[in-house]
Amino acid sequence: MRNRDEIMRKTFIALLLVLSTQAVADTTDEKLDLILKKLAELSAKYDKLFEGAEAVQSLISGGLFGLDEDDEANPALDKEIDGLLNGILGDEKPQTQKVKMDLSGNDFLEVVNWSATDGGKNLAALGTVIKINLTIRNKSNKKIALVDGSYEITDKLGQNIMRLGIDSDLNIGSNETYSQIGAYDAGMQFSGDMKRLLTINPNLIEFNFDLDQILFDDGTKLTFD
């Protein structure tokens, strides 16, 4: 028999999701009506959950947060409720979220290996050519499809060494790595001194990710202030 505490728990989560959606997504009246209709249908299907004081007591007594030892799970019902939670706004496209909290590109990406070598000079270069090889890792729990941003390379005192663009088409899964290789003309640099990468102690280098936007494979897009 389906444990009523577990169903009540998931239904309560669905109700919280509705309230959250109304607060942060500026949902239209029609959309709210649709959400409430879906919840009403779910409530009607399992109306026994809402009959009598026993169900209320079950909610208060701790069943909200988990199953008792003798409870039985119902995967089919779990799937239906999870589907409601995941698709309650299913006909809308993923929304762009503007990050206003203390998040930065460093919370999603990190440099795990790098090297810089002297590429010499050539007729097309104004100065020494520096060849840079970077390996970065996706620290997030989602696959990253695209980014718009730059690496900021400094020393431990914060002195600027160079700034260079991040390849846009990363397409890296969670905890996966991506390698970027480029050659840069030191004679074309207006700020910093990239030639320091050839001689400085690698432990004194810091890489920061200055991102404007990041797009995940599931369609979620974050825009950074």
Q: Which of 49, 68, 92 is the last residue of a domain?
A: 92
Specify if 97 maps to a domain: no
Q: 154 and 63 share a domain?
A: no
Domain end point (choices 44, 59, 92): 92
Same domain for 52 and 21: yes
* Residue 24 confidence (pLDDT): 47
Look over the chain and give the mean of its residue pLDDT values, rounded to a whole number.
76
- Is 126 in the same domain as 174? yes
Q: Helices (DSSP H) in the chain: which residue ranges?
A: 4-24, 29-45, 52-60, 75-87
The reply to whether the predicted model has a pTM over 0.85 is no
Give the count of beta carbons closer than 10 Å to the beta carbon of residue 134.
Answer: 21
Note the pLDDT of residue 20.
Answer: 52
Query: Has residue 98 been placed in a domain?
Result: no
pLDDT of residue 74: 57
The mean pLDDT value for 1-14 works out to 57
87 and 109 in a single domain? The answer is no
Same domain, 146 and 202: yes
Q: Is residue 100 part of a domain?
A: no
Looking at residue 37, its pLDDT comes to 72
pLDDT tier at 221, thresholds 50, 70, 90: very high
Q: Answer yes or no: do 88 and 122 share one domain.
A: no
Residues 188 and 138 both lie in one domain: yes
Higher pLDDT, 166 or 76: 166
pLDDT class of 122 with cuts at 50, 70, 90 = confident
Higher pLDDT, 20 or 56: 20
Task: Judge if 22 and 64 occupy the same domain.
Answer: yes
What pLDDT was estimated at residue 18?
A: 54
| Domain co-membership, 38 together with 148 | no
- Domain holding 170: CATH number? 2.60.40
| Structural domain for 34, as ranges | 4-92
Same domain, 116 and 151: yes
What domain count does the chain have?
2
The pLDDT value given to residue 225: 78
Highest-confidence range of 118-132, 154-168, 183-197, by mean pLDDT?
Answer: 154-168
pLDDT of 143 above 90: yes
Same domain, 62 and 86: yes
- What is the secondary structure of 102-163 as a DSSP string? S--GGGTEEEEEEEEEE----TT-SS-EEEEEEEEEE-SSS-EEEEEEEEEEEETT--EEEE
